[in-house]
C-alpha cells in the first residue's frame, strides 16, 4: 500500500473499514501493519485544539518539528537537509550550507581551516590532511603551529606558552604566558628557577609575607624533609639488624655450649662405666679357679713363626729381620702390621733395594730404588725428603714455623713453605728469613667473634670473612689495640 507524504494512515484505515463490499476495491498485494500502529498524527489533534480555542505554543512546535540553523555566509535559517552531516553538527557560528560549499569548490577552495575558518586550496594544507577521515577537521599550514589562548582568545605560537600549557589537549585550560602572569601572579623559585603560581609556595608563605628573592617552592623543600626522615629510618633499621644479629649469635653460642656440656657429660658417664666394667673383669680374672689350669700364652714372635711355617713361601723382612710367610711369589708383601713396612719379592726371593737412606726427620731406615728424587716417608713420620745421586740431599735453609715453633728444612729461599703435614699451616719466607707478611697474629671479629689471622699484631685489621652461620660478615675492618688469641 502506497501512502505519500501528504497522506495519512488514518484516512486509509477509515476508508478500508467503511467499505461494504469488495467490488470497487483493488488491493494487489499484502501490506504492512506497522504504519497503522504508530498512532494518530499531530495535525489532527492540533486542529481539534484550535477549534476548541485552546492556547498553542506554535514557537515550541516549530522548533521541535522544523529545526533550522543559520548559514554563516548566506545568513539564512535552513533545515538540516540543507547542510552536510559535519556542518550541521558544528557548534560554532561558522556553519555553511551545501550551496555555499559548492560555490567554494567551484572557485578552487574545497577545504576549510577549522582554526581560522578560511577556505583555501589543497596546497595550503599539510599532506596528512588529504585523507577522507580528515573531512571534519583540517588545519592549514599557517594555523598548525599555533594554538588558541583561552584567556585572550588569540592564536599564538609555542614560544608564547609554557611547556605544560602547550601540551594541554583542552583549549579551555590553555593560557599563554602573559595571561597566566596576569591571572595568577607567578613567583620564581630560587632553587629550580621555575616560575610557578603562589599556591606552590605554601610553606614559604606560612613563614614570610611576600617574596624576597629567596623564595623556595614546596617541591624543592619537600625532598629535604623526606631525606631526613629516610636517614633516621635507615639508622633505626641498621640498629635493629645489629641487635638481632647479636641476639642470634648469643643464642647460637648458648646452644653450642649446652650441647658441648651434654656430650662431655655423656662421655664422662660412658668412660666411668667402661672403667667399672674393666675393673670387674680384672677382678674376675684375678680370682683363683681350681678347676681350670693356667694357660700360658705364647710369645707373639713364636706365633708369627708358626703361622709363617704354614705358608708356601718363607721370607725374611729386610727391615725388622722377622720371618714372614706369604702366598705371594712375585709382588709386594705387606708387613705393616708388625714393623710398618712393605717389601718386594720376585720368584720367591726378596728383591733387594739398590739404596738405603736414613730419614733426616725420624732417623729411620728407608730402602728405595730411587737415585734422585723425592722419598715418601709420610707413612712413618709424616715427612718427605729428597735424595740426589744416592745421597740424602741436605736442605739449604732451616726455618722456625711461626705457628707451632717447629723446625722446617727447605730449599726455598723466597716463597711459601708448606708445613701443613705437621701443624696444618703455611708461612712465607723472603731471602731466607720468615716474612713479616706471614699471618701469625690471631684476632677475633667484634661482631661475629670469628677467629681471623693477620700479619699485624695491633692497629687496623682488615679481613673479609664468614660468620659462624656461613654468611659473609658485615664487619670488614676494626681496630685491634693489642694482640688477641
Phi, psi of 373 (to 5 degrees): 155, -155
Residue 405 has, within 13 A of its CA and on its CB side, a CA count of 0
Answer yes or no: are the C-beta atoms of 227 and 233 closer than 8 Å.
no
Nearest-CA neighbor of 187 among 165, 157, 167, 208?
A: 208
pLDDT tier at 484, thresholds 50, 70, 90 = very low
Cut 0.75: pTM above it: no
For cell 706365633, the residue is: 303
- The mean pLDDT of 11-25, rounded to a whole number, is 74
pLDDT surpassing 50 at residue 485: no
277 or 476, greater pLDDT: 476
- The mean pLDDT of 193-222, rounded to a whole number, is 79
Answer yes or no: are the C-beta atoms of 118 and 140 closer than 8 Å.
yes
Termini Cα distance of the chain = 119
**d(Cα 462, Cα 454) in Å, to the nearest integer?**
8
- The mean pLDDT of 163-192, rounded to a whole number, is 76
**d(Cα 308, Cα 62) in Å, to the nearest integer?**
141
Answer yes or no: are the C-beta atoms of 191 and 201 closer than 8 Å.
no
Domain ranges of the chain: 9-64, 82-218, 439-485
pLDDT surpassing 90 at residue 51: yes
Q: Strands 323-326, 155-157: parallel, antiparallel or unpaired by DSSP?
A: unpaired
Q: How far, CA to CA in Å, does 402 sit from each of 434, 451, 482?
A: 8, 17, 18
Give the pLDDT confidence of 127-145 residue by residue, as tens digits.
Answer: 888 887 777 778 888 787 7
Q: Comparing 203-212, 278-287, 365-374, 402-411, which segment has the lowest mean pLDDT? A: 278-287
Answer yes or no: are the C-beta atoms of 165 and 186 closer than 8 Å.
no
**d(Cα 162, Cα 194) in Å, to the nearest integer?**
11
How many CB atoms neighbour CB 119 within 10 A? 20
- If you write DSSP's letter for every residue of 109-172 in order, what string do you get? --EE-TTT--EE-GGGS-GGG-SGGGTT----HHHHTEEE-TTT--EEEGGGB-HHHHH-S-GG
Amino acid at each position: 500500500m502506497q501512502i505519500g507524504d501528504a497522506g495519512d494512515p488514518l484516512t486509509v484505515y477509515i476508508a478500508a473499514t467503511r467499505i461494504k463490499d469488495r467490488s470497487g476495491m483493488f488491493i494487489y498485494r499484502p501490506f504492512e501493519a506497522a504504519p497503522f500502529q504508530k498512532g494518530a498524527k499531530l495535525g489532527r489533534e492540533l486542529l481539534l485544539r484550535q477549534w476548541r480555542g485552546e492556547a498553542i505554543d506554535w514557537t515550541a512546535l516549530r522548533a521541535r518539528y522544523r529545526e533550522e540553523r543559520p548559514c554563516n555566509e548566506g545568513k539564512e535559517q535552513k533545515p538540516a537537509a540543507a547542510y552536510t552531516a559535519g556542518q550541521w553538527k558544528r557548534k560554532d557560528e561558522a556553519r555553511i550550507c551545501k550551496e555555499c560549499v559548492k560555490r567554494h569548490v567551484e572557485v578552487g577552495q574545497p577545504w576549510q581551516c577549522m582554526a581560522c575558518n578560511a577556505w583555501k586550496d589543497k596546497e595550503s594544507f599539510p599532506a596528512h590532511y588529504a585523507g577522507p577521515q580528515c573531512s571534519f577537521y583540517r588545519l592549514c599550514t599557517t594555523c598548525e603551529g599555533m594554538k588558541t589562548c583561552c584567556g585572550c582568545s588569540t592564536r599564538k605560537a609555542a614560544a608564547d606558552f609554557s611547556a605544560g600549557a602547550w601540551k594541554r589537549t583542552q583549549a579551555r585550560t590553555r593560557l599563554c604566558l602573559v595571561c597566566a602572569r596576569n591571572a595568577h601572579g607567578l613567583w620564581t623559585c630560587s632553587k629550580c628557577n621555575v616560575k610557578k603560581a603562589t599556591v606552590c609556595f605554601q610553606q614559604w608563605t606560612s613563614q614570610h609575607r611576600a617574596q624576597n628573592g629567596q623564595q623556595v617552592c614546596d617541591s624543592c623543600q619537600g625532598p629535604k624533609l623526606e631525606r631526613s626522615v629516610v636517614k633516621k629510618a635507615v639508622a633505626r633499621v641498621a640498629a635493629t639488624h645489629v641487635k638481632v644479629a647479636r641476639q642470634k649469635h648469643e643464642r647460637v653460642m648458648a646452644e653450642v655450649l649446652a650441647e658441648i656440656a651434654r656430650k662431655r657429660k655423656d662421655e664422662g658417664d660412658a668412660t666411668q662405666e667402661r672403667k667399672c666394667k674393666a675393673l670387674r673383669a680384672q677382678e674376675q680374672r684375678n680370682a683363683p679357679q681350681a678347676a681350670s689350669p693356667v694357660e700360658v700364652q705364647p710369645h707373639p714372635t713364636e706365633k708369627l713363626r708358626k703361622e709363617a711355617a704354614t705358608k708356601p713361601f718363607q721370607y725374611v723382612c729386610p727391615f725388622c729381620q722377622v720371618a714372614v710367610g706369604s702366598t705371594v711369589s712375585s709382588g709386594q708383601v705387606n708387613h705393616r702390621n708388625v714393623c710398618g713396612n712393605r717389601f718386594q719379592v720376585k720368584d720367591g726371593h726378596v728383591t733387594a733395594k739398590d739404596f738405603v737412606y736414613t730419614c733426616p726427620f725420624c732417623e729411620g731406615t728407608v730402602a728405595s730404588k730411587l737415585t734422585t728424587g723425592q722419598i715418601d716417608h709420610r707413612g712413618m713420620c709424616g715427612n718427605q725428603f729428597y735424595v740426589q745421586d744416592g745421597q740424602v740431599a741436605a736442605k739449604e735453609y732451616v726455618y722456625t714455623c711461626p705457628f707451632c715453633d717447629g723446625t722446617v728444612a727447605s730449599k726455598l729461599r723466597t716463597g711459601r713453605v708448606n708445613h701443613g703435614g705437621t701443624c696444618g699451616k703455611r708461612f712465607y719466607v723472603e731471602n731466607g728469613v720468615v716474612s713479616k707478611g706471614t699471618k701469625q697474629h690471631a684476632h677475633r671479629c667484634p661482631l661475629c667473634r670469628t677467629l681471623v689471622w693477620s700479619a699485624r699484631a695491633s692497629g687496623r685489621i682488615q679481613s673479609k670473612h664468614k660468620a659462624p652461620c656461613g654468611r659473609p660478615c658485615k664487619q670488614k675492618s676494626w681496630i685491634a689495640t693489642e694482640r688477641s688469641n
